[in-house]
Amino acid sequence: MNTRNQLNKYKRLMKSDIEKEHSPLLDSLDTKKRKALKKKLQAAEPSEYFGQDFTQLGELVDTLRELDLIKGDKKMNKKMKTMSESNVDIVATASKLRKEYEILYEQLRSLIYPRKEGDLRDE
Question: What single string gives the DSSP state of each residue in 72-123?
Answer: T-HHHHHHHHHHHHHHHHHHHHHHHHHHHHHHHHHHHHHHHS---TT-TT--
More confident: 2 or 121: 2
Structural domain including 86 reads 22-112
Residue 89 lies in a domain: yes
Residue 14 lies in a domain: no
Residue 53 lies in a domain: yes
CB 64 within 8 A of CB 80: yes
Residue 119 lies in a domain: no
**pLDDT-based confidence at residue 51 (cuts at 50, 70, 90):** confident
Residue 56 lies in a domain: yes
Total number of domains constituting the chain: 1
- Run of H or E including 22: none
pTM of the model: 0.62
Residue 57 lies in a domain: yes
- Run of H or E including 41: helix 31-44
Residue 50 lies in a domain: yes
Give tens-digit pLDDT for 82-107: 988 998 898 889 889 989 999 999 99
Residue 5 lies in a domain: no
